[in-house]
Structure 1
Amino acid sequence: MQHVSSADGTAIAVHRSGSGRPVVIVGGAFSTAPDGARLAEAIVARGFEAIAFDRRARGDSGDTKPYAPEREAEDLTAVIEAAGDSAIVLGHSSGALLALLAAAHGAPIEHLFLSEPPMRFGKDEPGDDLPQRLQSLVDEGRPGEAVTLFQLEGVGLPPAMVEQIKASSLFEHLTTLAQSTVYDATIAAATSNPDARLLGIAVPTTILVGVETMPVLERAAPMLAERMPAAELVRVPESRNHAIDPPATAAIIAERVG
């Protein structure tokens, strides 16, 4: 692990493996760099360098205030620039929203892979005050409630599933990432109904969607592909239930950029 410095001085923890053209993995909600280990291994097996990183307020990365989505776009740009002049970028879930935002802000991205971006296109969007309510819970020392609120309103998980997660051994770990729910909700608010700048990026873009995934994700992928002139839609039957299949996804990357 190493750290790179973002534009505002935030230290971003980076994990690099393999050699070749760099592929940067941008994780989704509640994910840290180690969660991308299997995907990184599959990418390395295809002859690339895999780069995973802890987004700010996660894992071994810092968190400089005040927050704005542009700061996370700068974090990703710093990771890319530390790897070389440019990189291939694969973003999953909220990480796909961040990757698209960074591309719109001029990050040096060769090819953009957006895996199941959670865009709602103005339909059934969470309340505008969700980031503020999440931040209040975090500030009041109630991280578990922030996690649950984000899962219910930000992600749209069924209440029964949220209760199962709350009762699991995973929940304590999720509470350590509570601050990141504020940031994911803020990024979603800025990108969920994408504007012309996001849709008009010139970077070659591949939008990935698996099977048995959430209806909002199944709906969003083709809608985004239709609206982005530089994009293609690829269905990945090996990826199920909003989880990336590492070998299949690495193969898709290799086919398009190799």
Structure 2
Amino acid sequence: MSQTDAATTARTDATVVSADGTTIAFERSGSGPVLVLIAQALSDRRDHRKLAALLSSSFTVVNYDRRGRGASSGAGEWHPLAEVEDVEALIDAHGGAALLFGSSSGAVLALDAAAELPSKVGGVIAYEAPVIVDDLRAPVPRDLPDRLAQLVADGRPSQAVTLFMKAALGASGFMVGTMRLMVPVWRSMVAMAATTVFDVRLCAGLQDGVPLTTERWAAIEAPVRVLVGGKGDPFMQSGSAALASLLGAEREVIPGAHHATPMMKPSVLVPFVREFLGSVRG
């Protein structure tokens, strides 16, 4: 690695304080327009480090721990706008304007931020937002947040993660069993069990198996690109098409990609991210 490359990919750790006093920890790398990476459920900034490193030659990448995860403090009385305020604090700490990349529930949060902060968000990439608009998979039960919260309150975080994976992610028992065998990964997810409640509440109204009619994002002014993996589940294909239609956004199918691609093989996504955000920047 050259000295220039090393300087570009070097990470700087820092924190910001959100509106309600929550401390949000983040890593900054690279140079150029500011790009905030917003992680999916049961993930923290470690899961986007590869993506951040790949994008840091084109952007100042801000890769953070959502509240209640990693080095960020807990959320207290959580509500969707609290996480938007976290994003706003990060944007304000980096000049007052940013582009956003969100994956899964992080894509929902990125769209919320674009709607609430139109003067601060210049463009959004929404990768596999988990909307359910038909019968290609079961709707997410409306009482799931309460059930998850009760398991966490009862000191059963592992059971909460299992329930979330099955009911919210649609994971099979075999898949959950396989994840349990990956002990460091499973322990990391169990440590974030309380945040599954936030993610399900964040996606409320988007996972009922009916067409999208929400006005939630009517105020978005920034360009949006909806991405879906070519290997994504069938409900993701139809859901991403419905989301793009609702937003008046372009949709792209990424060959060979799936729901975990931002973590496992982010290089597949990088050309699409650079192309779209580069055109927004231009």
Q: Same fold (TM over 0.5)?
A: yes
TM-score by length of 1: 0.93
How many residue pairs align between the two structures? Answer: 256
Residue in structure 1 matched with residue 44 of structure 2 by the alignment: 32
- Over aligned residue pairs, what C-alpha RMSD do you find? 1.7
Structure 1 residue 238, shift from structure 2 partner: 4.4
* Cα deviations by residue, 1:183-212 (Å, 9 ceiling, x for unpaired): 111111154456123255221000111122
Percent of aligned pairs with the same amino acid: 34
- Given candidates 43, 48, 58, the residue that maps to 2:59 is 48
* Cα deviations by residue, 1:44-83 (Å, 9 ceiling, x for unpaired): 12x2111100001100001131111111111111111111
TM-score by length of 2: 0.85
Q: Distance in 1 between matches of 2:144 and 2:254?
A: 32
Residue in structure 2 matched with residue 207 of structure 1 by the alignment: 226
Q: Distance in 2 between matches of 1:199 and 1:155?
A: 27
**One-letter amino acid of the counterpart of residue 106, structure 2:** G
Matched, 1:180 2:195: yes
Contact 1:211 1:241 in 2 (8 A): no
Residue in structure 2 matched with residue 72 of structure 1 by the alignment: 83
Residue in structure 1 matched with residue 117 of structure 2 by the alignment: 106
Greater C-alpha Rg? 2
Contact 1:214 1:242 in 2 (8 A): no
Contact 1:121 1:194 in 2 (8 A): no
Q: Tell me: CA distance 1:56–1:122, structure 2 relative to 1, closer, same or farther (3 Å).
A: farther
Contact 2:157 2:193 in 1 (8 A): yes
Residue in structure 2 matched with residue 10 of structure 1 by the alignment: 22
Structure 1 residue 131, shift from structure 2 partner: 0.5
Residue in structure 2 matched with residue 254 of structure 1 by the alignment: 274
Q: Distance in 1 between matches of 2:266 and 2:217?
A: 27
Q: Distance in 1 between matches of 2:153 and 2:267?
A: 40
Structure 1 residue 40, shift from structure 2 partner: 0.5
Q: Distance in 2 between matches of 1:72 and 1:22?
A: 18
